[in-house]
Amino acid sequence: MKMPFRISATKAAVYVALALAAQVAAADSSVQADDFPNKPIRMISDSAPGSAVDVTFRMVMDRLGKVLGQQIVPVDQPGASGAIAAHAASEAVPDGYTLFAPAISLFIALPGKAPNLPLILPRDFLPVASLLDQPMFICASAKSGIKTLPELIARAKAEPGRIGFATTGIGRITHLTGLLLQSRAGITLQVVPYTGGPAAALTDVIGGRVPMIIEGYSGLAGAIQAHTLIPLAVGSRHRLAEFPNLPTVAESYPGFAAGGWQGIVAPLGTPAAAIAKVNEALKTVLAEPDLAKQLAARGAYVDAMTPPEVNAFVNAQQTQWKPVLEAFEASVNK
């Protein structure tokens, strides 16, 4: 059954206009910048408790709470490809005390894959801030014999459709990265989706039953360090300082970029003063050198943005991935 959290376009426009007007006025009458927050803030996420994403997320939220002077209470509500968390966040009172930390996959989801997805800004939520960018790692099982991206491409061309790649679900950024690679390299791979995060897939990949996996570094770190996974390339635009010897996919296919992203949005009608206060506090947190270093070691990179920049970034991502999604839908509907 479709969850009724999506509001009409007319009502959304009214909320957006009010929010912009409040920003111009500098503060909403119900929430002044000097007294917000005066109680804990709930931060809803669709990540699974204890997952790599959840651990990284809590590292940031703990520091954000200290800067704001109030506890940030993470609320994990996984399921339905993120729709459960989105529904809960959209139904919250728009007073600044309930915020939502969606992943980019909720904005570029396959239409119809889950109720009310993909999300669109500012129709469904108001942008607040950006948290982290997590470039995708393309790795091969040590048992596959594949050691470089060119070797993978050559084998895939010799054996079209026979090389499987593990992902954390259809329509997720891990899956879309594989689709983009196939499109740019002119190859055909076999998608092998898993639920429950990368841990569920790693057993099969490490065992050699699935030749490769696409995932953020944090979910693969242990296997890479144990040399049971061989990193072939990373989806960042430039080589990462923490992995100077790992080539980017863009070195073989210029312009290639694929990564996970997590930001913060607010229910429609949330006062501009509350949004501004959270954004400024998060900028302070993300500017802390020791936090940036800790996150980079986990393959996550701080990415502070203003609300308009968040809106522009999400819209650009939706434009970038649209042809990939359309091509996949066309192949499925043949």
Domains 9-134+260-332 and 135-251 share a fold: yes
Residues 283 and 130: beta-carbon distance below 8 Å: no
Instruction: Please report the pLDDT score of residue 289 as a whole number.
Output: 94
- The CATH superfamily holding the domain 9-134+260-332 is Bordetella uptake gene, domain 1 (3.40.190.150)
CA 290/CA 183 separation, integer angstroms: 39
The pair of three-digit structure tokens given for residue 34, joined into one six-digit string: 């000097």
Residue ranges of the domains in the chain? 9-134+260-332, 135-251
Per residue in 279-325, pLDDT (tens digit) is 999 999 999 999 999 999 989 999 899 999 999 999 999 999 999 99
Please state whether 50 falls in left (phi above 0), alpha (psi between -120 and 50) or beta. Answer: left
Closest C-alpha among 213, 206, 310 to residue 261:
310
Q: What is the pLDDT of residue 21?
A: 44
- Please give the model's pTM, rounded to 2 decimal places: 0.84
Q: What is the pLDDT of residues 256-285, one digit of tens each?
A: 999 999 999 999 999 999 999 999 999 999
Element (H, E) at 2: none
Specify the CATH class of 135-251 in words: alpha beta
Question: In this structure, which amino acid lies at residue 46?
Answer: D
pLDDT at position 11 is: 45
